[in-house]
Amino acid sequence: MRLMVSGGGTGGHIYPALALIERLKQIEPDTEVLYVGTHRGLEDRIVPAAGIDFKTIKIQGFKRSLSLENFKTIYLFLKSVHDARKMIQEFKPDVVLGTGGYVSGAVLYAAAKMKIPTVIHEQNSVVGITNKFLSRYVTKIAIAFQAAKEQFPEEKVVMTGNPRAQQVANSKSDFSWTELGLADDIPTMMIFGGSQGAPKINTSVVEAIPTFNDRKYQVVFATGQKRYQQVMTQLGEAQVGHNIVIKPYISNMPSMMPKVDVIVGRAGATSIAEITALGIPSILIPSPYVTADHQTKNAQALVDQQAAEMIKEDQLSGATLAQAADKLMQDAPLRQAMAQHAKEMGMPDAADRLIAVLRDAQN
């Protein structure tokens, strides 16, 4: 298969694409892939590092208020469609996949107008503006949350899940908590707010640490690279128990996650895919700063299936975090039930499902 992929801006658009590409090359080693992104997005660093051919086009998003900048946006869109057409003519893809972000709008629009089979993958429960625009032009639409179905033309939609789920579900781990000075036979909770950390989550953990010190469970807390020193300053002279490990960043997250009993963190699409694929109970704290509050809707999908607890950020404090942690960490049967519910939501063959959609789009 000759596959052109476009998606960028955030890891949530990039990592599912990389997981899909990895699986496709396992099945069809002679697969050829060209990834089209922008030089400003995370894809500019992540995709070439993964050994995938990468090209860029220049584009930007619309301002939500009236702005002269939107005239430049229209110009850049039209130019990027022209540039994308050239790349498509040169690469000659069998199918083009878009995973979100403004760049995929230009690339898939160009491909659709050239009668090339096109597929978009929507990772979230609330459909992004680019995928809404593309939905009328593309051949097929793959979704990861059932709630997204009603936001698209029904006849094009296929439920596939997030390819990242299959990548995580198939990963092997020989990690031991002893590497962090902890024990393997004690329930362990991991707390993180993304690679950069989340200030409100960090502050709440600092407030909860005196409570965690007295508990018979372990806590691994990743502050985010840029916020580690701030957290240590906030802690001051406060005692941190031997059952708590504080790190700026967790580099080996994939090998560590299968050993985690409860995860506390944001409700981005990739995180949801990972925790459901592995069947991990979670306490989700949706970011209130994302478009259309989609993380709250992502989290609610798990809460509705009794697979997670949710604390909204305006209700988050050291006390509410400690209370939610105690509820799960001190009740093994509850954790087991939640783990089962999470696993039932997971789609461990998500990449294979999406590959099937790509093939179907060509027919």
Query: What domains are there in the chain, each with its CATH number?
Result: 2-166+349-362 (3.40.50.2000), 177-345 (3.40.50.2000)
What confidence score (pLDDT) does residue 180 get?
95
How many Å is the maximal CA-CA distance in the chain? Answer: 66
What confidence score (pLDDT) does residue 67 get?
53
What is the rounded CA–CA span in Å between residue 211 and residue 322?
A: 7
What confidence score (pLDDT) does residue 73 get?
66
What is the rounded CA–CA span in Å between residue 57 and residue 37?
A: 6
What confidence score (pLDDT) does residue 69 get?
61
Whether residue 125 is annotated as binding a ligand: the answer is no
What is the rounded CA–CA span in Å between residue 230 and residue 199?
A: 9
What is the rounded CA–CA span in Å between residue 295 and residue 287?
A: 6
Residue 215 phi, psi dihedral angles, 5° rounding: -95, 160
What is the rounded CA–CA span in Å between residue 114 and residue 136?
A: 15
What are the b/e assignments for 19-30, b being 16+ CB within 10 Å?
bbbebbbeeeee
Contact call for residues 135 and 108 (beta carbons, < 8 A): no
Whether residue 12 is annotated as binding a ligand: the answer is yes
What is the rounded CA–CA span in Å between residue 35 and residue 99?
A: 11
What is the rounded CA–CA span in Å between residue 235 and residue 256?
A: 25
Whether residue 151 is annotated as binding a ligand: the answer is no
What is the rounded CA–CA span in Å between residue 170 and residue 134?
A: 32
What are the b/e assignments for 171-183, b being 16+ CB within 10 Å?
eeeebebeeeebe
Contact call for residues 322 and 211 (beta carbons, < 8 A): yes
What is the rounded CA–CA span in Å between residue 75 and residue 180?
A: 52
Whether residue 124 is annotated as binding a ligand: the answer is yes
Residue type, 313: E
Q: Model pTM? A: 0.85
Q: Which residue has the tokens 């099945």?
A: 27
What confidence score (pLDDT) does residue 307 get?
97
What confidence score (pLDDT) does residue 74 get?
74
Which residues in the chain come in under a pLDDT of 70? 60-73
Whether residue 38 is annotated as binding a ligand: the answer is no
Distance spanning both ends of the chain, measured CA to CA: 13
What are the tens digits of pLDDT across the range 84-123?
999 999 999 999 999 998 889 999 999 999 999 999 999 9
Whether residue 346 is annotated as binding a ligand: the answer is no
Q: Which residue has the tokens 């020989």?
A: 174
Whether residue 105 is annotated as binding a ligand: the answer is no
